[in-house]
């Protein structure tokens, strides 16, 4: 769990103390509750690629196996490294 230090004006700190005493909880717990209420978790983002449409020509290439590496083909990371290094 993370720790956060916040500077509060004296009047706000006094209100926080009074409110936490009324609720019989620590001030940190009251602040946590207020933050959780004010900042609800964001819903998970949907993968934009999940419902993509594949072009028929590309789908045919995938199904034919034309895009799969062949024996002896170099890994793409090797090709990128060669290009980066000027080979």
If pLDDT is split at 50, 70 and 90, which confidence band does 68 have? confident
What pLDDT sits at residue 74? 84
Residue 71 lies in a domain: yes
Residue 67's domain comprises 56-85
What would the two tokens of residue 45 be? 């983002």
C-beta separation of 20 from 30 below 8 A = yes
pLDDT of residue 50: 85
Report yes or no on 77 lying in a domain: yes
- Output the pLDDT for position 67: 87
Comparison of pLDDT for 51 and 33, the residue scoring more: 33
Tell me if 74 is assigned to some domain.
yes
Q: Model confidence at 28, in pLDDT bands (50, 70, 90)?
A: very high
CB 6 within 8 A of CB 13: no
- Which pTM was predicted? 0.50
State the pLDDT confidence band at 12, using cuts at 50, 70 and 90: very high
Residues 8 and 31: their CA atoms lie apart, in Å, by 12
């Amino acid at each position: 769990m993370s720790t956060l230090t916040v500077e509060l004006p004296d009047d706000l700190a006094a209100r926080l103390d009074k409110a936490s005493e009324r609720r019989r909880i620590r001030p940190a717990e009251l602040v946590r509750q207020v933050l959780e209420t004010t900042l609800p978790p964001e819903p998970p983002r949907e993968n934009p690629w999940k419902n993509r449409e594949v072009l028929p020509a590309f789908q045919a290439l995938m199904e034919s196996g034309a895009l799969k590496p062949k024996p002896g083909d170099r890994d793409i990371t090797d090709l990128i490294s060669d290009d980066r290094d000027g080979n």
